[in-house]
Amino acid sequence: MTLRPTTSSALLIDGKLVPSSASGRTFPIINPATEETLGHAADGSAEDMDAAIAAARDAFDNTNWSRDHALRARCLRQLRDALQGHLEELREITIAEVGAPAFFLRGPQLEGPIEDLGYFAGLAETYQWETGLGVARPMGIPSRRTVFREGIGVVGAITPWNFPHQINFAKLGPALAAGNTVVLKPAPDTPWCAALVGKVIAEETDFPPGVINIVTSSDHGLGAQLSADPRVDLISFTGSTATGKAVMVAAADSLKKVFLELGGKSAFIVLDDTDVAGACGMAAFTVATHAGQGCALTTRLLVPREQYDAAVAATAKAMAGLRPGDPADPGTICGPLISATQRARVESYLELAVAEGGTIVCGGGRTQGRERGYYIDPTLIAGVDNSARVAREEIFGPVLVILPHDGDADAIRIANDSPYGLSGAVWGTDPDRVQRVVDGVRTGTLSVNGGIWYAADAPFGGYKQSGIGREMGVAGFEEYLETKLVAYPG
Ligand code: NAD
């Protein structure tokens, strides 16, 4: 079986690969590195979304899926193995559709998340589904209590385009392992990454019909429809904070659980007892990664005030060596932005930086010599303080704002002076000082001196307006569980 569609990819509804019910309507997929049309995807309609939700509801209510832990583990491993058999095609398509540098495909952009399906299969087998609380005597009546954990029901999974496999599998893996059925609505920019997984599921695995449904569409409204539908028990959403709030509002009427992974404006804190130039080089590398299109990338660099000028120079020098390039080139760190719309948004922030009194130290616009593709040079903004909009709002491009701090407590204050709290980094040599900074920063993940927190068993998520809940790990699995307490005569 070859994965690459010859005409258009299909929807996966109730176990069948089908075209859009709107007369087979499709929409084009643009390669962000070349601006060429890569192919087409099925443009799912509101009727398709309705059918997908009905299929997921039926599979949860009327099959043994939610009770059969062994089947779930087997199907998840089958999916992992089948996808691993298609790695070369998936690599090629991910580079072309996402503009993802090949460099990251071994890690969180492709191979890591496929491997992680095995971790969630393991949880289906080993998780403690039942816990005895022993006998109590409420009102003198002996009662033996047992807590059962079970799937919530139908999960609506809504995902963005920047790390499509990681985010699709970080939802499908635990949701399915926990016994739920799923309707996945991927981002319009990256439909093939999801649709091809749908093809593998339909043709190479034993997932029962309706357990996984995948509806690609150019219409964001299908996400709103999924969020509002009363047949859906949980929305697991990753995307911008503004859309997350809309999801929460839409979900409120049916009072379904919402699990939100949202935006960030994370701080990279450099203490004065470390190699400031080396730390700044790492901060430059981080923000250039995948053209800054990562929610957890650090986009504010906080350096000791007395070393500000040297830090600006060191960061600019490191950025100059990170010229954007063809994502298929194994040496590329910074590929294109996903779309013309996203490039225009980043460019508007570069204009805003100047209007706010900032200085563009390096970068600041489109990459010369790359007339095709949505490339922007890694950019350093200096001369603003943390109240500037460019220091407060998520830009989602290779743009770093460098800010001075007056010591550890001030660095913590600036890091926390943000509506977000997703991630961050601390560089310092004194472990006690570093730990005090770690303790003070209100954020869901932190890297110390280059430590990497990403792994299947590592809970990831945000404080404040960066989200509600945790993805990955046992905590991420438990987001998809309900709790049932049963009392028997003691
Ligand atoms: P987005 O919010 O525009 O879209 C995300 C998804 O929501 C897409 O599938 C979209 O079609 C859908 N959607 C749009 N409007 C909707 C609505 N009203 N109701 C329901 N669904 C709707 O985000 P994006 O531009 O695709 O992705 C970039 C954003 O995602 C950034 O803000 C980034 O920080 C965030 N992100 C967060 C994490 C995390 O784990 N915290 C990870 C990756 C990306």
Residue spans of the domains in the chain: they are 11-262+467-489, 266-455
pLDDT for the residue numbered 4: 85
pLDDT for the residue numbered 173: 98
Q: What is the gyration radius of the CA atoms in the chain, in angstroms?
A: 23
Q: Is the dihedral of CA 103, 5, 170, 162 positive or negative?
A: positive
Per residue in 425-459, pLDDT (tens digit) is 999 999 999 999 999 999 999 999 999 999 999 99
Q: To the nearest whole percent, how much of the chain has pLDDT over 90?
A: 98
pLDDT for the residue numbered 159: 98
Counting from 1 in the atom list of ligand 1, the atom nearest the Cα of 160 is 26
Per-residue pLDDT at 344 exceeds 80: yes
Q: To the nearest whole percent, how much of the chain has pLDDT over 70?
A: 100
Per residue in 220-279, pLDDT (tens digit) is 999 999 999 999 999 999 999 999 999 999 999 999 999 999 999 999 999 999 999 999
pLDDT for the residue numbered 53: 99
Per-residue pLDDT at 389 exceeds 90: yes
Q: Would you say the pTM of this structure is higher than 0.75?
A: yes
Residue range 142-164: average pLDDT?
Answer: 98
pLDDT for the residue numbered 377: 98
Euclidean distance between CA atoms 278 and 3, whole angstroms: 43
Euclidean distance between CA atoms 324 and 287, whole angstroms: 12
Q: Residue 16: helix, strand or coil by DSSP?
A: strand
The tokens of 369 are what?
Answer: 């010599």
Q: How far is CA 25 from CA 41, 58, 209, 217, 218, in A?
A: 9, 26, 23, 10, 10
Euclidean distance between CA atoms 435 and 321, whole angstroms: 32
Ligand 1 close to Cβ of residue 158 (< 6 A): yes
Residue range 18-29: average pLDDT?
Answer: 97
User: Average pLDDT over the chain, rounded to whole?
Assistant: 98
Where does 253-364 have alpha helices with state H?
276-288, 308-320, 340-355
Euclidean distance between CA atoms 331 and 420, whole angstroms: 32
pLDDT for the residue numbered 85: 97
pLDDT for the residue numbered 5: 86
For residue 295, give the nearest of 116, 107, 411, 461 by alpha carbon.
461
Cα pseudo-dihedral 39, 42, 43, 47, rounded to 10: 180
The identity of residue 432, as a single letter, is D
Strand partners, 17: 12
User: Quick one: 132 exposed, middle or buried, by C-beta within 10 A (0-12, 13-18, 19+)?
Assistant: exposed
Torsional class of 209: left (φ above 0), alpha (ψ -120 to 50), beta (otherwise): beta
Per residue in 112-131, pLDDT (tens digit) is 999 999 999 999 999 999 99
The pLDDT confidence band at residue 77, using thresholds 50, 70 and 90, is very high
Could you give phi then psi for residue 455, rounded to 5 degrees? -170, 160
The tokens of 119 are what?
Answer: 């971790």
Torsional class of 419: left (φ above 0), alpha (ψ -120 to 50), beta (otherwise): alpha
Active site residues: 261, 295
pLDDT for the residue numbered 295: 98
pLDDT for the residue numbered 12: 98
Class of domain 266-455: alpha beta
Distance 261 CA to ligand 1 centre (A): 9
Distance 275 CA to ligand 1 centre (A): 37
Euclidean distance between CA atoms 464 and 140, whole angstroms: 44
Start-to-end CA span in the chain (Å): 58
Per residue in 291-332, pLDDT (tens digit) is 999 999 999 999 999 999 999 999 999 999 999 999 999 999
For residue 286, give the nearest of 424, 437, 471 by alpha carbon.
424
Could you give phi then psi for residue 325, rounded to 5 degrees? -150, 180
Euclidean distance between CA atoms 467 and 260, whole angstroms: 5
Counting from 1 in the atom list of ligand 1, the atom nearest the Cα of 217 is 11
For residue 253, give the nearest of 222, 236, 232 by alpha carbon.
232
The pLDDT confidence band at residue 2, using thresholds 50, 70 and 90, is confident
Per residue in 161-215, pLDDT (tens digit) is 999 999 999 999 999 999 999 999 999 999 999 999 999 999 999 999 999 999 9
Q: How many CB atoms lie within 10 A of CB 450?
A: 11
Residue range 60-72: average pLDDT?
Answer: 98
Ligand 1 close to Cβ of residue 295 (< 6 A): yes
At a CB cut-off of 8 Å and minimum separation 6, what does 190 contact? 29, 97, 98, 161, 164, 338
| Domains 11-262+467-489 and 266-455 alike in fold | no
The tokens of 185 are what?
Answer: 């609505």
Ligand 1 close to Cβ of residue 420 (< 6 A): no
Ligand 1, pocket-test mutation among 43, 158, 236, most atoms within 8 A of CB: 158
Contact 215, 184 (CB under 8 A): yes
Per-residue pLDDT at 154 exceeds 80: yes
- Does domain 11-262+467-489 fall into CATH 3.40.605.10? yes
Q: How far is CA 158 from CA 54, 120, 191, 263, 467, in A?
A: 17, 19, 12, 15, 14
The tokens of 162 are what?
Answer: 């920047």
Q: What is the DSSP letter of 417?
A: S
Cα pseudo-dihedral 93, 97, 100, 106, rounded to 10: -20
Per-residue pLDDT at 1 exceeds 80: no
Residue range 473-480: average pLDDT?
Answer: 98
Strand partners, 266: 298
Counting from 1 in the atom list of ligand 1, the atom nearest the Cα of 466 is 41
The pLDDT confidence band at residue 289, using thresholds 50, 70 and 90, is very high
Ligand 1 close to Cβ of residue 168 (< 6 A): no
For the stretch 257-267, what's the b/e string if a residue is b when 16 or more beta carbons lie within 10 angstroms of its beta carbon? bbbbbbbbbbb
Residue range 23-41: average pLDDT?
Answer: 97
